Amino acid sequence: MDLRISMLVLFFALLISTTKALDPCDSQSNGNDLSVIPIYSKCSPFKPPKIESWVNTIMDMASTNDPERVKYLSSLVAQKKSSSVPIGPGQRLFNINNYVVRAKLGSPGQLMYMVLDTSNDAAWVPCSGCTGCSNTMFTPNTSSSYSPLDCSKPQCSHLRGVSTSCVSGGPTDQCLFNQTYGGDSTFSATLVQDSLTLANDVVPNYAFGCITAVSGGSIPTQGLLGLGRGPLSLLSQSGSLYSGLFSYCLPSFKSYYFSGSLKLGPLGQPSKIRTTPLLNNPHRPSLYFVNLTGVSIGRVLVPIAPEFLAFNPNTGSGTVIDSGTVVTRFVQPAYEAIRDQFRKQVKGPFSNLGVFDTCFASTIEAEAPIVTFHFTGLDLKLPTENSLIHSSSGNLACLAMAAAPNNVNSVLNVIANYQQQNLRILFDVANSRVGIARELCN
C-alpha cells in the first residue's frame, strides 16, 4: 500500500515537473537571447481577459495604432545643432502594443516587460508614485544602484525636443521633462540611471525615463526599450558589450503559445545571411534605412516612379524597417501601383476590410502571386502568410499592406512587423548592414 502511494506521489511530481517544463511561458531568457512575446499572447501580462481572434487584433492595431505610428516616424526629423531626435507625441510613443521582452531594472533586479522598438532610442518605464500609471511600475527606492541624472550630464542634453527643466533637490539638479500628447494628454518624467539586466548581461548606469505622472486617455501600461541608433539607445549605452549588433525573430500573431527571440551581440547570429546596406539619414538618424529599389508582383516588376522609393538623405525620404508598425505602408503612389498590379493577377471582385482595400474570396487564394521586395543586394520573397491576411470568418483573403494615412505628408515607406514575422532580421550597425533569413520564430 505504502509503495503504491509512493509511486502515485512520484507520478504526480513528475507530471507537474513535465507540465512546467513544457509551459512556454516558463522558459526564461538565457545567454544573449531574450524571448520576444506578442503582447496579446498567453505569456504576456498585458493580454486582455477575453481573447479575440488574432485577425481582429491585427485589424484593430492596423486601423488604430498604425496611422499614429506612421505619423510619429514621419515626425522624427533631427533638429539643428543636435545629435538627437525629438521625442514624438506620447500617444505615438507608447501606443505600440506589438511585442515585449523581459528585462530587469535595479539592484536587485525588478522584472519589467518592455516594448521592443527599433525606431526609438530611449527606454521608458512607469515608476512608483506615478499618478495615472498602471500597476506595473519600477520602484527606485528599493534599488541600491539607482540615481537621478544631473542636468549637466550629456544624457539630459540628448532629450532636446521636449520641455526640459532642472529642479534642485538633494545632491544633484534633476533632469525633468514634460510632453503633451494626444491633444489633451501629458506625461512627466525624470531622467535617471540604474542597472539594466537583459538575460545574463548587466548594463550599469543605464539612462532611462522614469515616468512620474500621466494625464489623459493614453496611459502607458508597460515600459519601452529603445533599439534605435541614437545616443540613448541600447546599442549606444551598452558600448562594446554587443558590438553594435542585434537581431530578432518575430513570431506570428497567431502564435498564442509561442515566443520569438532577440539576440544581442555577435554570438549565436546566423553565419549565412543575405544582407543589404544600412543607410544613414541625417534627417532621421535613429531609423534603420535600407534601399528599396523595387517591388515585384509575381514575375512583374511594378512600375513605380523612382522618387517614391529612392533614399534621399537631403529630404529624409526612403524606406525604413520598423518593429512597431503592424502592416507595411507605402507612400500613396507606390502603394496604388503595387495594389493595381496585384489586382491584375487575381480575379475579383475586390472588397475592403478595415485598412485593407484588396480583399478577395479565399477560395482563389492559390492564384495570389508572390510579393517580392527588391533591396540593394537582396531580394525578399514574402511567404504567403506574410503578404496575405484572412478575415476572421476565413472567407476573405486580403493583401496585407496599405498606403500611408491620408493626413500624413509622409516620405517614408515602412517595412512593418507583419511582413517580418518568421524571419531573422539582423541589424549590424557596426558594419552598416541589415540581414534577412528565413526562420521559424517559435
Query: Per-residue pLDDT for 386 more than 90?
Result: yes
Over residues 394-422, the mean pLDDT reads: 87
Query: CA–CA separation, 4 vs 67, rounded Å?
Result: 63
Q: In the beta sheet, which residues pair with residue 353?
A: 356
Indicate the pLDDT class of residue 375, thresholds 50, 70 and 90. Answer: very high
Indicate the pLDDT class of residue 11, thresholds 50, 70 and 90. Answer: low
Indicate the pLDDT class of residue 44, thresholds 50, 70 and 90. Answer: confident
Place of cell 508614485: 129
* Region of 57 on the Ramachandran plot (φ > 0 left; ψ -120 to 50 alpha; else beta): alpha
Higher pLDDT pick, 225 / 163: 225
pLDDT at 179: 66
Catalytically annotated residue among 66, 173, 194, 322: 322
Over residues 187-196, the mean pLDDT reads: 92
Beta carbons of 355 and 335 less than 8 angstroms apart: no
**Mean pLDDT highest for which of 46-60, 174-188, 418-432?**
418-432
**Mean pLDDT highest for which of 66-70, 77-81, 163-167?**
66-70
By the 10 Å C-beta count (0-12 exposed, 13-18 middle, 19+ buried), 385 is classed as middle
Higher pLDDT pick, 139 / 174: 139
Q: Do 269-438 and 28-55+95-263 have the same topology in CATH? A: yes
Q: For the CA atoms of the chain, what is the radius of gyration?
A: 23
Q: In the beta sheet, which residues pair with residue 362?
A: none
pLDDT at 24: 57
Over residues 313-342, the mean pLDDT reads: 93
User: Smallest Cα–Cα separation from 400: which of 413, 375, 377, 417?
Assistant: 417
Catalytically annotated residue among 117, 121, 173, 194: 117
Indicate the pLDDT class of residue 89, thresholds 50, 70 and 90. Answer: very low
Place of cell 493595381: 340
This prediction's pTM: 0.86
Q: Is 201 a catalytic residue?
A: no
Beta carbons of 127 and 137 less than 8 angstroms apart: yes
Beta carbons of 66 and 322 less than 8 angstroms apart: no
Beta carbons of 435 and 270 less than 8 angstroms apart: yes
Query: Per-residue pLDDT for 207 more than 90?
Result: yes
Over residues 273-300, the mean pLDDT reads: 94
pLDDT at 172: 59
Indicate the pLDDT class of residue 206, thresholds 50, 70 and 90. Answer: very high
Query: Per-residue pLDDT for 143 more than 80?
Result: yes
Q: Which helix (H) or strand (E) holds 67?
A: helix 66-75
Domain boundaries, the chain: 28-55+95-263, 269-438
Higher pLDDT pick, 15 / 438: 438
Helix, strand, coil proportions of the chain in percent (round to 5)?
A: 20, 35, 40
Q: Is 117 a catalytic residue?
A: yes
Indicate the pLDDT class of residue 7, thresholds 50, 70 and 90. Answer: low
User: Smallest Cα–Cα separation from 224: which of 292, 308, 122, 73?
Assistant: 122
pLDDT at 291: 97
The CATH number that domain 28-55+95-263 falls under is 2.40.70.10
Above pLDDT 70, what percent of the chain?
77
pLDDT at 170: 56
Indicate the pLDDT class of residue 50, thresholds 50, 70 and 90. Answer: low
CATH class of 269-438: mainly beta
Per-chain mean pLDDT for the chain: 82
DSSP notation for 84-123 = S-PPPPHHHHHTT-SEEEEEEETTTTEEEEEEEETT--S-
Question: How far are the Cα atoms of 91, 119, 304 from residue 307, in angstroms, in the given order?
Answer: 31, 23, 8
C-beta neighbour count of 378 within 10 angstroms? 19
